[in-house]
Amino acid sequence: MKRYFTIALAAVACLFLRAEEKLGDIKNVGGMDFLLLREFNTPEENSAFQRNVQIMRRYSQVIGAIKKKLETTSDEKEKAALEAKLKQLQDEFKINEQTMRKAYAFATNRNYRLVTLESHICTHISKDELSSMRFADGSPIDPLKTFERNGNVFYRGISISGVKENEEFQRILGSMITRKTESDELRKQLASTTDPTKQLEISKNLSAIEKAIKETDSSMRKKYSVKEKTDYIIEVAKSKLYLMLTPEEAADIQKEKASKK
């Protein structure tokens, strides 16, 4: 059973915004039709949806890995254990998939676009700052803008509003994440080779990438007024989920709407 999981930020996200858009509306972007399926209007709603999608993704990845291993194993005992585990995971996957359908009308074999309308850069609050309810620079902490996550307290102090603005912000974050992944991979290569020439080449590339990461991070902090050496997390506050339609589906929906007028 093939799974796609193509929930992504649209490359043409700014074209998704339209005044007075309602659930069930269809728009054509880049020659493709999209149905506005859901709106998430709080950080909690966005977090819950994205967390649930990640759970489904992980299930799909593990199921795929077990299937691949079953194709290569010849040990009957190991094969039986893998088949039992596979059935368990597939059963759990189906239950979770039914929950996603009920909660979000979300199917794992369809394509979606998740467009961010508003996000927050949330900075970490230290224990000393929390106890005095003031930041290190003496400015007051608004308790209504604080929240706890994984045992840490964060402050929603910086908001980014607008589809285009969030698209630009996501590009910056995406660039840093990609380079961080490249950096981690180079570190693994450096640790596994004893060839001096390769070590020198890898070290040069690693140095260049880490410099680029620092420069991008510094530029981002300056642009969005995030203090240097301050830990932060990104929180999506408002977003819209679009379902990509086939031409036939779009035509059928439009006909149904026209018949009700």
Q: Which residue has the higher pLDDT, 11 or 66?
A: 66
Q: How far apart are CA 41 and CA 46, in angstroms?
A: 7
pLDDT bracket for residue 17 (50, 70, 90): low
Amino acid symbol at 171: R
Q: How far apart are CA 170 and CA 164, in angstroms?
A: 10
Mean pLDDT of the chain: 89
Closest by Cα among 1, 51, 97, 30 to 242:
30
- Residue 220: the pLDDT is 93
User: pTM for the whole thing?
Assistant: 0.80
User: Each residue of 103-134: pLDDT tens digit?
Assistant: 999 988 899 999 999 999 999 999 999 999 99
Q: Take residue 114 and report the two structure tokens written for it.
A: 């998740």
- Residue 18: the pLDDT is 54
User: Each residue of 202-242: pLDDT tens digit?
Assistant: 999 999 999 999 999 999 999 999 988 888 999 999 999 99
- The percent of residues above 90 in pLDDT, for the chain, comes to 77
- Residue 30: the pLDDT is 84
What sign does the dihedral 6-12-14-16 (CA atoms) show? Answer: negative
Region 20-41 average pLDDT: 90
| Residues counted in the chain | 261
Closest by Cα among 104, 92, 115, 107 to 45:
104
Statement: residue 200 has pLDDT above 90: yes
- Residue 58: the pLDDT is 93
- Residue 5: the pLDDT is 43
Return the number of other C-beta atoms located less than 10 Å from residue 24's C-beta: 10
Distances (CA, A) of 156 to 89, 143, 147, 159, 226: 37, 10, 8, 7, 12
